[in-house]
Amino acid sequence: MKISKGRCGVALSTILGVAAALPFTSALAGKNDDTLRAALHLEIANLDAYYDSAGSVVVMNRHIWDPLFFIDPATSELVPALASGSSFIDDKTLDVTLRKGVIFHDGSVMDAADVAYTLNWIKDPANKIKSVSNANWIDRVEILDPHKVRIHMKKPNALALRFLSLFPIHPEGVYEKHGVAAMNIEPIGTGPYRVKSMDLGKKYVLERFDEHYADSPKGRAKIANLEISIIPEPATQIAEMMSGKLNWIYKVPADQSSQMTRMKSLSVESKPTSRMMYIVLDAAGRTGPDSPFKSLKVRQAIAHAIDRQGIVTALVQGGAQVLHAFCFPQDFGCPKDAVQYEYNPGKARQLLAEAGYPNGFEVTFSAWRDRPYVEAIMSNLADVGIKANLNFIKLAPLRGQWESGELPMVYGSIGSRIEDIGNFVPTFFGKSKRDIAQDDEVASLLSKAGSSMDEETRRQLNYQALRRIADQALAVPMFSDNMNFVMSSDVMVPSDSGGTPHFYRAEWR
Amino acid sequence: MLIYLLRRFGLACWVALCVSILTFALLHFSIDPAIAMAGEDATSEDIELIRIAYGYDRPVWIQFGEWFLRAIQGDFGVSPYFGLPVQDLILDRMPVTFTLGALSIVFALGFGIPLGVLAAIYPNTWIDRVSLSVGVFGQAIPNFWFSLLLMIIFAVQLQWLPVSGSDSIWSYVLPTIVLGTNAIPPIMRLTRTGMLDTLSADYIRTAWAKGLPPHIVFFKHALRNAIIPVVAVASIQAAHLLGGSIVVESVFALHGLGMLAYESILRSDIPTMQAVILIFSAFFIGFSALSDVLNAYFDPRIRVQ
């Protein structure tokens, strides 16, 4: 039912080309009534980030709610938000002091009872939050005084403070009152904007919350009102931009955003995001004892065979960059000096010959996204004699095949919302079901890093693990993703490394 | 006629049951809802915990049995995404889809019947050719392309109509044209064929011989009989329009049942998908039954058979 990007892209590119050539004199909306109008793609089923992990919900949460800690988009450092400080009593006990004078959008004061209530709610499996592993390290949360809580952890978790940056704080008792749809009924937060009105899943009107606490790391919102509509089709969003009814859209396909640069009333921005594309290889031989990826030389050959810079230049475009380690450069513990496998088909053929595959081999290559990139990779592999048979299926069945060890080579993407490799690298190399490398040394290093509460030790262990992944070519880190933002020329909207817009930092030009 | 109606109703219930079993089986065998709910970056642990928490680890037949027993009482369960009863979501979205469907069928009839009549009155002339061309155009043009074309002309360049949304009745103009244009060809062709047959009938020759004016012959005597099969086809087309609104609603950001289906498919929201598919199939079953009944009403020979 979905309109394919290919068909839609051709149609839209043609129409955009014609439209861009025609005189276009639309008055842009927004600045006169101090209302920024934006569109998001995926319908918001539940405004509560604990129950809907869609990108649209992340955007809304960033504006309506605040967490205890906040990751500064400029430095990737953790800074206090609703908290004013924290201290580890021991490896499993964390005290968090709360900022005084924070009030919810309904005028009630936020205190330790709200924090303890929220954290105790999300750690309980019976409450069925979506990202269970983000919260299941919490054993219980107790109130020490109205502005201090104590978090007891099940086991030491070095990422505890970073995970706390993902948890919006809700008023005490809100779930008992309304159930899991509470935020669709009473979206009360402490964030820089409050919900003025909403048509569930369709349109949200937010207004600046003038009582938003001073010294918030988000700062004081400059634009008074936000009007956020859900428009699923990129083509429709572009048409709305061209008609002047919207001020901001994102995730615009590269070919279409380049057409829009010709329109003077619009400005186009391309930025790399912290989502990483990768290929993992069956180094453990889970698909069979004859898996060619058991050979280091074959894995290195794959890394040399793929023209990652070429794919970035021709297809991903924008600010995307080739990655050499299995992480995004700004992630905590990501090595900057990982071994680099330059594009060298000759060397790849030589390595294959040395590994006993002078004529290449045939392999199943699985992916669930980015088909154009995947096809470019297949073409690169064919050049060195590797015939990759594409297994392009939906994520759900692919993940089943992957976890049962049926896939020798998988293309995918991953992003870390807490900008720390600790919450995603172990999924691929920590002996989990998705670890098809099964490297004991890497798994051991990651395990030690996960339980170490000393930041420098953890950094070193993560560094060593990622260096080994690169040295052994256990995976081929591909490139960062790129995101295209289109905005009316009278507004400037900053965004973070994940591509999430910060409308509270937006301003009219 | 009563026995005929009862038989049709029984058949409709049987088809609905088969559709619900088939849908449930296909959804559960093609999608792992726990993986879809957990999201792209979820860990295996997240997925397993969600599978248990939402009961997706139980045998499919138990899940179907529970769903079916609730569904026959009008309870389609709770959407794990919205946290709201599915029937509330459907009731919230229905008006948009019904409005779009009703306007589209009116549009299709409003253009299809006159074009068919004109083509039959002036067969093998340029008028006939133009009518047929409209029919071919309506059938051949992809909805998404036509939607974008209309958007760029009428919403972006001329700024006469809104690009998307359902804020006013004007928001429905472009989607109605797109969806309705798809239904024009069968209505137009059936009207033309019916009119050509009727116009060659003896009673029409008699009407001409009596010196009746053309508009009386065409519209009072010929069209009345020619339109009988069109009425039945129109009811099937109405069902097609309701079911076919998924792409149009998505493109024009009309938050109706079609868009709910589209979003539910993307999210693998099985309770909502199951209910929406059942509703759409109920439209088809209902309108097909209506078509049969109308045919039987207008043509007694069908009842006898």
Confidence of residue B300 (pLDDT cuts 50, 70, 90): low
Contact A433 B44 (CB under 8 A): yes
Per CB-CB distance under 8 Å, the chain B contacts of A231 are 164, 253
Q: Which residue among A46, A235, A394 sits closest to B81, beta carbon to beta carbon?
A: A46
Give the model's pLDDT for residue A19: 53
Percent of chain A topping pLDDT 70: 94
CA–CA dist B62, A63 (Å, integer): 42
Q: Let me know whether B104 and B169 are in one domain.
A: yes
Contact B250 A233 (CB under 8 A): yes
Q: Which residue among A3, A54, A396 sits closest to B35, beta carbon to beta carbon?
A: A396
Beta strand pairing call for A248-249 and A507-508: unpaired
Interface of A with B in 60-119 (CB under 8 A): none
Tell me the three state secondary structure of residue A359. coil
The answer regarding whether domain A42-230 maps to CATH 1.20.1440.230 reads: no
- Residue pLDDT, tens place only, A180-226: 889 999 999 999 999 999 988 789 999 999 999 988 999 999 999 99
| Residue B20 placed within a domain | yes
| Residue B78 placed within a domain | no
- Residue pLDDT, tens place only, B37-59: 777 667 777 788 778 878 888 88
At the topology level, CATH places domain A274-482 in: Dipeptide-binding Protein; domain 3 (3.10.105)
Q: Let me know whether B131 and B31 are in one domain.
A: no
Per CB-CB distance under 8 Å, the chain B contacts of A235 are 144, 148, 151, 251
| Residue B79 placed within a domain | no
CA–CA dist B148, A15 (Å, integer): 8
CA–CA dist A216, A212 (Å, integer): 8
Give the model's pLDDT for residue A217: 94
- Residue pLDDT, tens place only, B96-143: 999 999 999 999 999 999 999 999 999 889 999 998 888 888 888 888
The complex scores an ipTM of: 0.80
Q: Give the residue numbers spanning the domain of B63.
A: 2-71
Q: Does A21 have pLDDT greater than 70?
A: no
Confidence of residue A3 (pLDDT cuts 50, 70, 90): very low
Size of interface A-B (CB pairs under 8 A): 167
Last residue of a domain, one of B71, B97, B126: B71
Q: Let me know whether B20 and B148 are in one domain.
A: no
Measured in residues, chain B has a length of: 305
Distance from CA of B102 to the nearest CA of A (A): 22
Cα within 13 Å of Cα(A288), Cβ side = 9
Confidence of residue A340 (pLDDT cuts 50, 70, 90): very high
- CA angle, residues A435, A438, A442, in degrees to nearest 5: 100
Last residue of a domain, one of B40, B71, B102: B71
- The mean pLDDT of B17-34, rounded to a whole number, is 80
Say which residue the tokens 């048979």 belong to: A389
Range name among A35-44, A160-169, A308-317, B212-221 with the lowest pLDDT average = B212-221
Q: Does A54 have pLDDT greater than 80?
A: yes
Last residue of a domain, one of B43, B71, B99: B71
What's the burial of A61, exposed, middle or buried (CB within 10 Å: 0-12/13-18/19+)? Answer: buried
Q: Does A332 have pLDDT greater than 90?
A: no
Give the model's pLDDT for residue A501: 94
Q: Let me know whether B44 and B131 are in one domain.
A: no
Please report, for the domain that includes residue B196, its CATH number.
Answer: 1.10.3720.10
Q: Let me know whether B189 and B292 are in one domain.
A: yes
Distance from CA of A383 to the nearest CA of B (A): 31
Q: Let me know whether B61 and B94 are in one domain.
A: no
Per CB-CB distance under 8 Å, the chain A contacts of B265 are 1-2
- The mean pLDDT of A250-276, rounded to a whole number, is 86
Distance from CA of A40 to the nearest CA of B (A): 11
Q: Which has the higher per-residue pLDDT, A9 or A227?
A: A227
A 10 A CB-CB count for B4 gives 15
Q: Are B171 and A30 in contact (CB under 8 A)?
A: no
Residues of chain A with CATH 3.10.105.10: 274-482
Give the model's pLDDT for residue A16: 56
Q: What are phi and psi of A255, to 5 degrees?
A: -65, -35
pTM: 0.82
Q: What is the DSSP string of B184-235?
A: HHHHHHHHHHHHHHHHTSHHHHHHHHTT--HHIIIIIIIHHHHTHHHHHHHH
Range name among A270-274, A395-399, B131-135 with the lowest pLDDT average = A395-399
| Residue of B51, B144, B273 best to disrupt the A interface, most CBs of A under 10 A | B144
Contact A15 B269 (CB under 8 A): no
Q: Let me know whether B52 and B177 are in one domain.
A: no
| Residue B270 placed within a domain | yes
CA–CA dist A355, A348 (Å, integer): 11
Q: Let me know whether B125 and B165 are in one domain.
A: yes
A 10 A CB-CB count for A468 gives 16
Give the model's pLDDT for residue A11: 54
Distance from CA of B164 to the nearest CA of A (A): 7
Q: Are A156 and A32 in contact (CB under 8 A)?
A: no
Confidence of residue A296 (pLDDT cuts 50, 70, 90): very high
Contact A239 B43 (CB under 8 A): no
Q: Which has the higher per-residue pLDDT, B240 or B191?
A: B191
